[in-house]
Amino acid sequence: MDKTLGDWVVFVLLLAGALLMCGPFAWMISTSFKPGPEVFLYPPTPFTAKPQYENYVRIFSAIPFGRAIANSLIVSASVTILQLIICSLAAYAFACLRFRGREILFLIYLSALMVPSQVTLIPNFILVRTLGWIDTYQGLILPFAFSSFGTFLLRQYLKSIPQELMEAARMDGANHFQIYSTIVLPLAKPALGALAIFTFVAQWNNFLWPLITTTKPEMQVATVALSTLQGQYNTDWPLLMTGSVIAIIPVLLVFAFGNRQFIAGLTSGAFGGR
pLDDT greater than 90 at residue 135: yes
Please determine, for residue 273, whether its predicted confidence score (pLDDT) is greater than 60: no
Q: Is the per-residue pLDDT at 242 higher than 80?
A: yes
Per the prediction, the chain carries an average pLDDT of 87
Spatial separation of the C-alpha atoms in residues 181 and 166, rounded to whole Å: 12
174-216 pLDDT, tens per residue?
Answer: 888 898 988 898 888 888 988 999 999 999 999 999 999 999 9
| Entry pTM | 0.86
Q: Which residue would you say has higher pLDDT here, 128 or 51?
A: 128
Q: What is the mean pLDDT of residues 64-76?
A: 95
First to last CA, the chain: 38
Residues 257, 259, 221: CA angle, nearest 5 degrees: 65
DSSP string, 70-106: HHHHHHHHHHHHHHHHHHHHHHHHHHH---TTHHHHH
What band does 230 get if pLDDT is binned at 50, 70 and 90?
A: confident
29-56+71-267 has which fold? MetI-like fold (1.10.3720)
What percentage of the chain carries pLDDT values higher than 90?
Answer: 40
| All residues at 6 or more sequence positions from 15 whose CB lies less than 8 Å from its CB, including other chains | none
Query: CA separation (Å) from 139 to 124, 129, 131, 136, 185?
Result: 10, 9, 9, 5, 29
Measured in whole angstroms, the distance separating CA 28 from the mean position of its chain's CA atoms is 21
Q: Model confidence over 263-272: pLDDT tens digits?
A: 665 655 545 5
User: Residue ranges of the domains in the chain?
Assistant: 29-56+71-267
What is the predicted pLDDT for the residue at 245?
93
pLDDT for position 85: 95
The reported pLDDT for the residue numbered 2 is 58
Whether pLDDT at 83 is above 90: yes
Residue-level pLDDT at 144: 94
pLDDT value, residue 65: 93
> What pLDDT, on a 0 to 100 scale, did the predictor assign at position 140?
95
DSSP labels, 214-251: --SGGG--HHHHHHTTB-SS-B-HHHHHHHHHHHHHHH
Model confidence pLDDT, tens digit, residues 96-120 = 888 888 888 888 888 888 888 888 8
pLDDT at 274: 45
